[in-house]
Amino acid sequence: MMEIKTPVSATLSPEQISAIQDTVSRCKAVKGGLQPALHAVQGICGNWLPLEALRLISEGMDIPYAYLYGVMSFYTMFSPTPRGKYIIRMCESPPCHIQGADNLLEVLKGELGIKVGETTADGLFTLEQTACLGVCEVSPAMQINEVVHGRLTAERVKNILADYRAGKAPDFRQLPRTTNPLSDYPPSPDEVSLFQNVDQIDPMSLDAYLARGGYEALKKALDQTQVEVINVVKESGLRGRGGAGFPTGLKWSFTQPSPVTPKYIICNADEGEPGTIKDRYLMEGDPHRVLEGMAIGGYAVGASVGYIYCRGEYYLSMHRLQNAINAAVAKNLLGDNIMGTGFCFHIQIQTGGGSYVCGEETALIESIQGERGNPRVKPPFPGQVGVWYKPTIVNNVESWASVPSIIAQGADWYKAKGTEDSKGTKIFQLTGHVNTPGVVEANMGLPLSTLIDQIGGGCRQGKQIKAVQPGGAACGFITPEHLNTPLEYAAMSKVGGAVGSGTMLVMDDTVCVIDVVKCLLSFFQHESCGFCLPCRRGTRVLYELICKVAAGKATQADLDRMLTLSKTMVDSANCALGWSPYSFLKTTMERFKDEYDAHLAGSCPLGVCKAEEPSH
């Protein structure tokens, strides 16, 4: 649920007013320019949007103030109240939560002498809590302006603050490039396609990408008909890697024949699912692969514009993608009349504003159009009515990045990997209590136990695994008896889990399942966009009830109500966010009944849960 903040007045300097006016007139000329204007003006005003700046945007863009407020207040990255020079965003999502994020927040509060949402008296720091920052391999983590700081301990937090106080803030562009803690795996080079360049070439160099066969797949696609290209992707068996697993070629084949023009394609780089970090590795480590996949898709469906909707916290990804776009345009690999073929394809980056639901494809489309990110009622689906109400293909970053190798090496090469049910390779992410968290590309069908034990080095400090939440925050919990399940769509769903985005949250026996469920429900009630009643009210009621369970004050009737309510949300909520709590409530209540019962009897067996009022 969003907070209602009253905008604060400030005196803007003549330089600031003129910079705002310039920005506003530039953004007014661009379709969907409101969010870019809000981001840019917030930068001009020093991390927040004073009332006077909001009025200048409203007047300059001819947008009613109430409408502007509606959009601005939807996105957590915008603030109409003053913030400090440095905004500290401490992650509170499960992978960080189970690794001590709460204690570190207390350290931050103590060191800064402020509460969450406040700014230090010297105007240097504002403290915020946030959902997953997309760096869970280094949990617990926080972000200070553009820079992520991971593997936090109390001492590290203090040292980092001291550096910022001493004026030693790092430049995010100068940070070491992506390193993958699991890069020793897999043993067979045949399994690597998505990651073949990650950590191997300079992601800022187009020449390095070209030297490894880059853009050859685009050349090959442009020699084929649109239908031929789509058929290769269809035959490969590639299924969307954003979570739902919809067949990619089939999706394209619905849109390609439509006579409605123009058509668009979108790369969904919102990556807000807690525990999901793979798209960042691709964008930071091999940005041209994503662009090449998009250009092939644009050609196949007949689109000449592609958007990359990237989550606002991924500064380095956007920096490298923009550099790659500029270089590809300069070499005529993107832009007008690509390689003399007559095909034109332009790619534009749109920055998200800190809203998880904007990863849902229709919410994302609304957001690109400069609106609040409320998911649309479906059907119609984006393939028929998408951005600017035109046919639009939305695919995840990893789906786009899979396309160049499929075109270059053929459908047979791709579908020979993986299993009958799930073809190809996939990026899996291990987070939580494993010795080596991180990302790895492997064939679909890899047993989960191999991922955890052989690749991730097993449960940390020799402890026992208590539960795994595979697929993402919306998925069910599985237990040690399910660890031999192959990571493929059907098998995972049979045991009550999911492949989802490919993230696997491993929890050892120090974790209280009720506490993790509370953390998940806090996330969903916060991220509900409020558009439909079952989710707007339902996520809040579920969160209040789990707080009652955690406090040892609930009854069996409360648990029954949680299940009934979450099932009603599956049947009646407008989008999959509202359907999410049911799976993890059902599986945890079935599989961790003793733990729920102990809380009903008044105590948390592990002493983790505290009796506290529901927050935000």
Ligand X SMILES: Cc1cc2nc3c(=O)[nH]c(=O)nc-3n(C[C@H](O)[C@H](O)[C@H](O)COP(=O)(O)O)c2cc1C
- Complex with ligand FES: residue 49 or 135, whichever CB lies closer: 135
State how far Cα 408 lies from the chain centre.
Answer: 28
Q: What is the smallest separation between the CB atom of 271 and ligand FES, expressed in angstroms?
A: 10
- Complex with ligand FES: residue 138 or 442, whichever CB lies closer: 138
Q: What is the smallest separation between the CB atom of 101 and ligand X, expressed in angstroms?
A: 21
Amino acid at 518: K
Which of ligand X, ligand FES, ligand SF4, none interacts with 136 (beta carbon under 5 to 8 A by kind)? ligand FES
- Complex with ligand SF4: residue 363 or 397, whichever CB lies closer: 363
Which of ligand SF4, ligand FES, ligand X, none interacts with 133 (beta carbon under 5 to 8 A by kind)? ligand FES
Structure-token pair, residue 14 = 């003549």
- Give the total of residues touching ligand FES (CB under 6 A): 11
Q: What is the smallest separation between the CB atom of 139 and ligand FES, expressed in angstroms?
A: 5
The footprint of ligand X on residues 211-250 (CB under 6 A) is 240-244, 246
Q: How many angstroms separate the CA atoms of 150 and 144, rounded?
A: 11
Per CB under 6 A, does 395 bind ligand X? yes
Of 90-98, 187-195, 310-318, 388-396, which segment contacts ligand FES by CB under 6 A?
90-98
State which of residues 33, 50, 84, 95 lies at the interface with ligand FES (CB under 6 A).
Answer: 95
Q: Contact at 8 Å (CB) between 238 and 407? A: no
Nearest in space to 309 (alpha carbons), one of 267, 271, 276: 267
Full DSSP string of 424-441:
SEEEEEEEESBSS-EEEE
**Chain contacts with ligand SF4 (rule: CB under 6 A):** 357, 375, 528-532, 535-536, 573-575, 577-578
- Complex with ligand FES: residue 89 or 390, whichever CB lies closer: 89
- Complex with ligand FES: residue 96 or 491, whichever CB lies closer: 96
DSSP annotation of 473 reads: T
Which of ligand FES, ligand SF4, ligand X, none interacts with 508 (beta carbon under 5 to 8 A by kind)? none
Query: What is the contact mask toward ligand X in residues 347 to 366, using x (rule: CB under 6 A)?
Result: ---------xx-xxx-----
Structure-token pair, residue 324 = 């790659």
> What are the beta bridge partners of residue 149?
142
Full DSSP string of 348-394:
EEEE--S-GGGGSHHHHHHHHTTS--PPPPSSSPTTTS-GGGS-EEE
The footprint of ligand X on residues 557-596 (CB under 6 A) is 575-577
Per CB under 6 A, does 93 bind ligand FES? yes
Question: Beta strand pairing status for 425-432 and 392-396?
Answer: unpaired
- Complex with ligand X: residue 251 or 320, whichever CB lies closer: 251
State which of residues 240, 249, 274, 424 lies at the interface with ligand FES (CB under 6 A).
Answer: 274
State which of residues 68, 105, 112, 135 lies at the interface with ligand FES (CB under 6 A).
Answer: 135
What phi and psi values does residue 535 have, to the nearest 5 degrees? -85, -45
Element (H, E) at 65: helix 65-74
Which of ligand FES, ligand X, ligand SF4, none interacts with 513 (beta carbon under 5 to 8 A by kind)? none
Which of ligand X, ligand FES, ligand SF4, none interacts with 361 (beta carbon under 5 to 8 A by kind)? ligand X
DSSP annotation of 459 reads: B
Q: What is the smallest separation between the CB atom of 495 and ligand SF4, expressed in angstroms?
A: 26
Full DSSP string of 174-208:
GSPPP--TTTT--S-GGG-STTSSTTTS-TT-HHH
Of 92-100, 204-212, 578-586, 607-615, which segment contacts ligand FES by CB under 6 A?
92-100
Quickly count: other Cβ atoms within 10 Å of residue 80's Cβ.
18
Task: Give me the helices (H) in 270-332, please.
Answer: 278-285, 287-301, 315-330
Structure-token pair, residue 139 = 């949990």
Quickly count: other Cβ atoms within 10 Å of residue 488's Cβ.
22
Which of ligand FES, ligand X, ligand SF4, none interacts with 574 (beta carbon under 5 to 8 A by kind)? ligand SF4
Element (H, E) at 129: strand 125-130
Nearest in space to 595 (alpha carbons), one of 504, 467, 481: 467
Buried b or exposed e, range 431-457, using 16+ CB within 10 angstroms? bbbbebbbbbbbbbbbebebbbbebbe
Q: What is the smallest separation between the CB atom of 440 and ligand X, expressed in angstroms?
A: 19
- Complex with ligand X: residue 244 or 606, whichever CB lies closer: 244
The footprint of ligand X on residues 51-70 (CB under 6 A) is none
Q: What is the smallest separation between the CB atom of 310 and ligand SF4, expressed in angstroms?
A: 20
5 exposure class (CB count in 10 Å sphere: 0-12, 13-18, 19+)? middle
State which of residues 56, 72, 77, 91 lies at the interface with ligand FES (CB under 6 A).
Answer: 91
Q: What is the smallest separation between the CB atom of 248 and ligand X, expressed in angstroms?
A: 6
- Complex with ligand X: residue 150 or 245, whichever CB lies closer: 245
> Could you write out the three-class secondary structure of 530-575?
CCCHHHHHHHHHHHHHHHHHHCCCCCHHHHHHHHHHHHHHHHHCCC
Q: What is the smallest separation between the CB atom of 352 and ligand X, expressed in angstroms?
A: 9
- Complex with ligand FES: residue 98 or 363, whichever CB lies closer: 98
Of 119-127, 133-141, 243-251, 511-519, which segment contacts ligand FES by CB under 6 A?
133-141
Structure-token pair, residue 86 = 């440095």
Phi-psi region of 186 (alpha: psi -120 to 50; beta: other; left: phi over 0): beta
Amino acid at 347: I
Element (H, E) at 346: strand 346-351
Of 127-135, 167-175, 278-286, 433-441, which segment contacts ligand FES by CB under 6 A?
127-135
Which residues contribute to the site for ligand X (CB under 6 A)? 240-244, 246, 268, 270-273, 356-357, 359-361, 394-396, 399, 575-577
Which residues of the chain form contacts with ligand FES (CB under 6 A)? Answer: 91, 93, 95-96, 132-133, 135-136, 139, 141, 274
